[in-house]
Amino acid sequence: MFRRASIGVPARLMTALSGNRQYLGIVCLFWLYVTLSNVLYARSFGMGIAPVTTARLFEPWPVRAIQHLLLLPPLLASYWASLQMGWRPRWLAIPTQVVLAAAFAAAAYPAMIVAMCLTGEVDLAHAANHWPEHINEPGMLSLWVASALGFLIAYGFGLALVTGFTIYSRFRDTELRLAALERQWSAARLAALRMQLSPHTLFNLLHTIRGQIDWNPATAQSMVVQLADLLRRLLSAGDRDFSTLAEELQFVRAYLELQQQRFADRLSIALPAPADVPLLWVPSLILQPIVENAVVHGLAGHQGPVHIGVSVDGAPQSLCLEVTNTVAVSAAGARTAADAPLRTGSAGIGLNNVRERLAVQFGGGASLEAGCGTGSWRVRIVMPALNGTLEPRAVAAAGT
């Protein structure tokens, strides 16, 4: 109705038609209320004074109903002009608004005369011939002013109602546009975060394969095939905001098995059995950077065995994912070796990426904790349990 958004012509036309219907509906309902109120008041007041006098102080209800019907088009035009004009600048808007209201109120009594002529209460020819005389009759000016004051008050209430509705509509539209922009911004932000994962994972895996080419070509070839399959999974998962927990663990298993091709004598893994995995949705690739961090930094700084474990604890309202890996214990202590990934290097990218994705998709409803134990490093994610029977879009809405 009164919006000026930069949208296409068809959308702008539909918006204007929708707004005009709402505007007409509100004004017509308000004027119907005013009409019924005036008619019922006149009828009840006339019945109340009937035992005292037979004088007719109010016109019959058909006359008053037609009077209000005749005033509806000027009312709609006055409100439309008022809303188009607005209230700024005040030095110009306020006097103009007063003139509009006074003009409408002044038309109430002539509308009553016309209604009386249409219903036969007054002869139309006689009224037209003697109109100047009627104006000069005693009390005519008082009746005119009294009628104008009554309709002026009704006009003011209606203008406040229509103005309030317009302000609310603009506020609602602004909120809707803001929500749409926030959704688009969140989607773009998540897409950017997922794009950080793909090259980060690829570079580490390529370095792993490169180490096998010279002294074990067969293993390198097998790893290339596995890498191709892993990249297909990576690209597929990167196009979605959410995936099932089972799919996420399958991806983690493929990645860890690829790493075991090189570190078969050092790396052991433990993942939940497929039958023990609950049917829940999780953000796509949420475990990949954490598991990759566990492999890279668990193997660094020593030549001993490394165990990486992934555990799942699904409660009715929350889901807990935990990744642990053994780390090198030096003379400086286990904490020194384990803290380094959080400050620099790819681990900082991976964990910060996960934290940011959890913040975008769950707000304050999810958390990531990382800590060092005796010879081990643990990363724990707690997020809302999203039912796996829901559609992915419903899951995304529930997550935000």
Residues 136-170 pLDDT 10s: 555 567 778 888 898 999 999 999 998 888 888 88
Residue 198, pLDDT > 60, answer no
Residue 14, pLDDT > 50, answer no
DSSP per residue over 142-159, as a string?
HHHHHHHHHHHHHHHHHH
Looking at residue 238, its pLDDT comes to: 63
DSSP state of 286: S
Q: Which residue has the higher pLDDT, 203 or 313?
A: 313
Average pLDDT, the chain: 78
Residue 27, pLDDT > 70, answer yes
d(CA 312, CA 282) in angstroms, rounded, equals 12
d(CA 145, CA 106) in angstroms, rounded, equals 8
Question: If you average pLDDT over residues 40-45, what whole number do you get?
Answer: 81
Q: Which residue has the higher pLDDT, 182 or 313?
A: 313
The class that CATH gives domain 190-399 is alpha beta
- Tokens 């209430």 -> residue: 157
Looking at residue 3, its pLDDT comes to: 41
d(CA 38, CA 60) in angstroms, rounded, equals 11
Looking at residue 306, its pLDDT comes to: 92
For helices 140-213 and 90-106, the axis angle rounded to 10 degrees is 130
Domain ranges of the chain: 9-137, 190-399
Residues 172-197 pLDDT 10s: 888 888 888 777 776 776 666 665 55
Q: Which residue has the higher pLDDT, 4 or 348?
A: 348
Residue 122, pLDDT > 50, answer yes
Residue 65, pLDDT > 50, answer yes
Residue 311, pLDDT > 90, answer yes
- Tokens 């913040």 -> residue: 359
Q: Three-class SS of residue 319?
A: strand
Q: Of 287, 228, 299, which Cα lies nearest the Cα of 259?
A: 299
Question: If you average pLDDT over residues 236-251, what whole number do you get?
Answer: 83
**Residue 398 confidence class, pLDDT cut points 50, 70, 90:** very low
